[in-house]
A and B are shown apart, each in its own frame.
Chain A
């Protein structure tokens, strides 16, 4: 990944040292059902606890409502109702939750945009197991 800022690097190191245990509660946001289904299965296989939603507004509602607690958000970069960067910004503003951006392409501009908006990491679809474990 490209270079990141201070506290984000710490977060990445935490993840690398496997400070994130099994049962990590992850909110996954993607407008495509096929991607969601595959990602959910992948996350469960890694022993995480994924919750899937198909749009950013629902994701925000769930996060704000606070009925369910999450440790991490994984969101697609591009969605019809609200783009991933906007969601990322709103999440970073309102709460201290790491957000991983997900996209089909590994366009440097898109990655940099994600980092500027406060993304903790960036992954390219299709995601592989080892990427998630790290």
Chain B
């Protein structure tokens, strides 16, 4: 129900901010079409679906990154295991539309294939940075969405 005490100006400002923020994620290449697909899957039966999936990704991916780091540090190198871990990260990243992470995973996998340890190390550093940036952006985005409240989600706003 409409909360009449809330000034509509603030509300539409918020909505504008949210739309703009989301557009910037797409324009700067952080997210791709898959993110829109997630929003399409959100409905009355799962009203917080996008936030929940993203939260799950942000919860699980640090552990994966840490496993990757540990595996890189091992001697002798286990490129097969490294590739498997990066493969998993690529899958989960692509499931939420995290296109930069997905692309860096592909680069990482190529280094594993070439048994290029230095390349793997560089990729890992890049991925950690990408991950931190993505996490910060998405958390800000959902924080804004929560302020708008459950009456409306950014489902209809497109790129």
Contact = CB atoms under 8 A, between A and B. Distances in A.
A105 B16 CA distance: 37
B41 A42 contact: yes
B17 interface: no
A126 B97 CA distance: 8
B41 A45 contact: yes
Nearest to B58: A34
B133 to A, nearest CB: 18
A25 interface: no
Interface in B82-120: 84, 87-88, 90-92, 94-97
Contacts, number: 57
B52 A37 contact: yes
B91 A104 contact: yes
B96 A38 contact: yes
12 contacts: A30-B91, A31-B88, A32-B60, A33-B60, A33-B92, A37-B53, A38-B41, A38-B95, A126-B95, A126-B97, A128-B37, A129-B40
Given A33-B92, A42-B37, 20 more contacts: A32-B60, A32-B88, A34-B56, A34-B57, A34-B60, A34-B91, A34-B95, A35-B91, A35-B92, A37-B52, A38-B41, A38-B53, A41-B41, A41-B49, A45-B41, A78-B84, A78-B87, A104-B90, A104-B94, A128-B37
Interface of B: 34, 37-38, 40-41, 46, 49, 52-53, 56-57, 60, 84, 87-88, 90-92, 94-97
